[in-house]
A and B are shown apart, each in its own frame.
Chain A
């Protein structure tokens, strides 16, 4: 793993360990409702300061915390326009299956490629360390997946080009 990536992921891990201290907190606005406060943002006293961790201009991670929920938004590295398309399509594929992931948000936050929403209920059902591990592993693997997709597109293009030019020989 590159040094800068390791440092970046370590920083995110440490921030998540500090931020993932969630507790149940019923909604102050509406009776008998329980909503993730990080999404509503109606009560400033329930929100903590958002933390933005940037690896470089293209890659960054925004962690927004509240008393009962945590939102992590990721911007993935995209070197060229082809990676841009592949990333968009792949992350859209995942977002459409957000239910299977439970902690994944269906729509990413404006300016980011993908977002996670972790609530106190997730923390009750799942282990905190495992959740953090999942997020960090996801970030490591996403770059690999995009590179593989790009490679497969170029491989396919090469095969099609070979098939086409063979006809002239």
Chain B
């Protein structure tokens, strides 16, 4: 499952710890991320040179293309080519995983920047796998023209509930994301967000970005698709990817962004829906950049400050009243009478008893 950070923070931390340890460590960690990605890191004291990293990630499935649980050969070659000598993909991988890497941590340089970069690249192996799959599909699949100017869409799925479509045309590739939300409030917030996205996309500053369109009804490219794929409550978001967006290093960024569309939308919608809850670390940047709006509470605080004083005063008054009610009524000379006639007998606590014979 894709997310913003290409690098897995937990995996990076574990590998950094193993790399910086003065003595060999016994490490056997299982890390689960995003519900479907699973890492297994193993480093043994008996074999201190090598660390074994196994990765299990949901593989991309699509209609019309063979689905395999094993990674294709070119993907393994790509992984081996990232850091030859440091990272090697084992064939076959460990049971239950798609990829097992043998890492020679000792070959990672000891100095700060280079080692951090290398460890980060190793910890982003899952995102590299996922991006490579999509790139291969986009590269190998030919555009399927079914009519004059009409091309058949390819349905891709990472998560069963979040499929998206890719329509390959000669001049461009269109990625279409059907949006579905569980709650009506999410739909309303997301609709406002999509309007903003279209506005920003059509501005001068972003004329080089892919053309972005949102429509509440299925676009023409999806004509003929099954009704269950076209029934949504959040509309359809489309991006037109041209040659400019897939040249050189931009291909990686474009593919990664397409994989993260649903996550970006949820990133905006969910915190607004849960107003009042603590926001997670992902929203730190937005919080820094957004002008501090007190969330409508500027006047609320003013109103509450005025009332709080009165509440405290009232509580104090109530307390004094209750004390007065509880205290005994004082009658003149009653105390002497009470001492003489109303003396309560003293009961000594039973500490011993006599045994009856």
Contact = CB atoms under 8 A, between A and B. Distances in A.
B212 A165 contact: yes
Interface string A19-43: 0000000000000000000000000
Interface stretch (B12-20, B100-108, B251-259, B344-352): B251-259
A129 interface: no
A158 B195 CA distance: 9
A100 B311 contact: yes
Contact of B303 (A81, A134, A168): A134
B304 A97 contact: yes
Tell me if A's interface is mostly helix, strand, loop or mixed.
helix
Contact of B188 (A81, A152, A160): A81
Interface in B283-332: 285-286, 289-291, 293, 295-296, 298-300, 303-304, 306-308, 310-311, 314
Contact of B192 (A99, A157, A164): A157
Nearest to A162: B200
Contacts of A123: none
Interface stretch (A44-52, A85-93, A105-113): A85-93
Given A82-B189, A90-B296, A134-B303, A156 B272 contact: yes
B304 A158 contact: no
Contacts of A138: 303
A146 B276 CA distance: 16
Interface residues of A, number: 41
A143 to B, nearest CB: 11
Contact of B196 (A81, A89, A161, A166): A161
A160 B268 contact: yes
Given A134-B303, A165-B201, A167-B256, A153 B189 contact: yes
B210 interface: yes
B307 A89 contact: no
B6 to A, nearest CB: 11
A126 B209 contact: no
Given A146-B296, A165-B200, A168-B209, A101 B307 contact: yes
A134 B300 CA distance: 12
Contacts of B267: 160
B208 A161 contact: no
Nearest to A146: B296
A94 interface: yes
Contacts of A157: 192-193, 196-197, 268
Contact of A156 (B290, B303, B310): B290
Interface string A121-133: 0000110000000
Contacts of B311: 99-100, 102
B206 interface: yes
Contact of A85 (B189, B196, B250, B256): B189
B338 to A, nearest CB: 31
A168 B267 CA distance: 18
A131 to B, nearest CB: 11
Contacts of A153: 189, 192, 272
B272 A126 contact: no
A125 B208 contact: no
A149 B306 CA distance: 24
A7 to B, nearest CB: 23
A152 B295 contact: yes
Q: Which interface residue of A97, A155, A162 has the most chain B CB atoms within 10 A?
A: A162
A125 B314 contact: yes
Interface in B236-268: 245, 250, 253-254, 256-257, 261, 264, 267-268
17 contacts: A100-B307, A100-B308, A102-B311, A149-B293, A153-B189, A156-B268, A158-B196, A158-B199, A158-B200, A159-B286, A160-B193, A160-B264, A161-B201, A163-B286, A164-B257, A168-B257, A169-B206
